[in-house]
């Protein structure tokens, strides 16, 4: 399984952060690669993450990241 790396974009919740993951997919009509961003919630028990930190590791469908 390919590791997924994201960037913390919000840390305003208690013990949770929002992580943005960029991915590329191929558009067959225009024959180009397009960048899309998905946002996931992550559990941050120590509340040590700041905006802009790079994180990885997917765990469950809703709470997808453990920091």
pLDDT digits (tens, 9 = 90+) for 44-58: 888 899 999 999 865
Residue 4 has pLDDT above 90, yes or no: no
* List of residues 6+ apart from 33 with CB closer than 8 A: 24, 25, 26, 27
From residue 29, alpha-carbon distances to 3, 17, 24, 49 in Å are 29, 36, 15, 40
Q: Does domain 5-66 have CATH number 2.40.280.10?
A: no
Q: What is the pLDDT of residues 14-47, one digit of tens each?
A: 999 999 999 999 999 999 999 999 998 888 888 8
Residue 67 has pLDDT above 70, yes or no: no
Burial label for 4, CB within 10 Å (0-12, 13-18, 19+), is middle
> Which pLDDT score is estimated for 56?
83
| Whether this model's pTM surpasses 0.85 | no
């Amino acid at each position: 399984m390919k590791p997924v790396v994201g960037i913390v974009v919000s840390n305003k919740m208690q013990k949770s952060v929002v992580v943005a993951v960029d991915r590329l997919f191929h558009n067959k009509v225009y024959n180009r690669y397009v960048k899309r961003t998905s946002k996931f919630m992550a559990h941050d028990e120590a509340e040590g993450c700041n905006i802009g930190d790079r994180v990885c590791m997917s765990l469950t469908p809703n709470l997808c990241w453990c920091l």
